[in-house]
Amino acid sequence: MGYSRNPTPARRARIAASGSAALLGLAVAACSSVADAPQSESTSAVSAGSANTGGFKLVAFGGTGKCLDVAGGAGEFDNARTVQMWSCVGSPNQRFIYVDGEVRGLGGKCLDAVGGDNGARIQLYDCWGGTNQKWAWDGGRLRNGGGRCLDVAGGDGQYTDGARVQLYDCNSAGNQSFDAQRVSDVPASRPIFANPVYGGDFADPFVLSWGGSYYAFATNAGPTNVPRITSTDLVHWSGVGDAMPTLPSWVQGGLTWAPSVWARGNGTFVMYFTARPKNLNLQCIGRAVANAPAGPYYDSTGGPLICQTDRGGSIDASPFVDASGAPYITWKNDGNCCNLPVSIWAQKLSADGLSLVGNASALISRDQSWENPLIEGPSMIYQRGKYTLLYSANWWESSDYGVGYATCDSPLGPCRKPQNGPVMRKADAVAGPGGQEFFRDRNGGLWIAYHAWTYPKTSYTSGGARSLRIDPVAFDGNTPVVVGPTASVQ
């Protein structure tokens, strides 16, 4: 969740405040019809049901060009944060999700009335299921469980920046009228889950959906070269094993990092992994092949795929496909090891994913203060006519590690960072979220898998572990909206 209020490109479908009683899982007089939706966007995402059966939707609330806003800037989701009106700029502190009758900010806190009387202040607070945190649509108004409505203080038309939001007797005034605005690409259905979904150490995770099951891979832990776990529902993970029980002949043991897998069209799979060659004191990127998603993966090539020895080595490979289905790979040169400049890179792969084609392109470098001292862990996806690059930054063994993003015109750039700050950062006890990878569930819903420490244990020396976590991803125009990091039941 970023720091800036600067406007970001947004293309939202406005939902009329009338019609069916089903939208967003609300019980009464909910919005249902979609107007002005771009032709490329499906309106089927606006559907009936609770958060667990299709009603998980990101919404913004507006009135005369102002949006419901969590005071303090994007990413500020502490308890007792005041909710106000502010110019609509598309930042994460103006986005909410509806879950089982509760309106939640992206930090996982709930829209909360401080008491039930007229004038009661509206804030964000830990979700606990009380009446003062229950909301339903009522003729374009948001009615609280206590019977009063969400109200902009000051009377009809008072929508100045910083205008206070309160509870008040429900009436027909314009200052109680709100619209829901859809942010597309949210998973249409999802399991009930609570992070971490796997509590053991599982750093730099990658999740592959295949054949009705999910396969997760991680950086080496103990004697296991590439830890692998499996799930049928993204919630219950088991079967810890080694996806690469035999290391390639060119690899030293104990330093296999950040595995990722590309499912080839012929039913075979390529794993990209970081490892240390026996003849170098640098990390490089290798590839291995398996006939099943769980492995075992074998590399008989005799050497790495990518190794920028003049740039400190190469780490954190992540494959993706472009709009035509052609495979590419992103990675980072490991200049941090040797006081050298660092960039995120991309290059086209051969059709079988085992060799490189053409030249590598530098996509982004470290140029924002929050990113110090490093950037790493790229993951790219083609979405809505653009390529979106997520990356991790800051120090990995700290609370301040987080996730940034850039938009790219092609798989090889150029890329731009639209905001000065992360799209996902620490929240409550979730410390240092990063090592993220996009993945899709079996229904096509978009998620990220990532790791995080549990505060205050933000290092291995303090007894911490980087556990596996997942959260949905939406897109507001070309801006990724990460619904997390979360720790409560979702």
Instruction: Set out the domains of the chain in order of their start, with CATH numbers.
Output: 13-183 (2.80.10.50), 206-482 (2.115.10.20)
State the average pLDDT over residues 32-38: 24
Q: How far is CA 479 from CA 11, 75, 184, 373, 417, in A?
A: 10, 15, 11, 25, 10
Strand residue runs (E) in 226-267:
227-231, 238-242, 257-263
- Other CB atoms within 10 Å distance of the CB of residue 235: 15
Res. 18: pLDDT tops 80 = no
Cα–Cα distance, 201 to 218 (Å, whole number): 9
Between residues 299 and 43, which one has the greater pLDDT? 299
Res. 82: pLDDT tops 50 = yes
Contact status, residue 64 vs residue 42, Cβ threshold 8 Å: no
**pLDDT at site 161:** 84
Residue-wise pLDDT for 57-79, tens only, equals 445 555 566 788 888 765 556 78
Q: How far is CA 181 from CA 47, 58, 87, in A?
A: 14, 8, 15
Alpha-carbon 10 to chain mean position: 17
Res. 27: pLDDT tops 60 = no
Under the banding of pLDDT at 50, 70 and 90, the label for residue 55 is very low
pTM: predicted TM-score of the whole model, two decimal places = 0.69
Contact status, residue 171 vs residue 215, Cβ threshold 8 Å: no
**pLDDT at site 90:** 62
Between residues 441 and 276, which one has the greater pLDDT? 276
Q: How far apart are the first and last CA of the chain?
A: 18
Burial 150-165 (b: 16+ CB within 10 A, else e): bbbbeeeebbeeebbb
Both structure tokens of 280: 């170098």
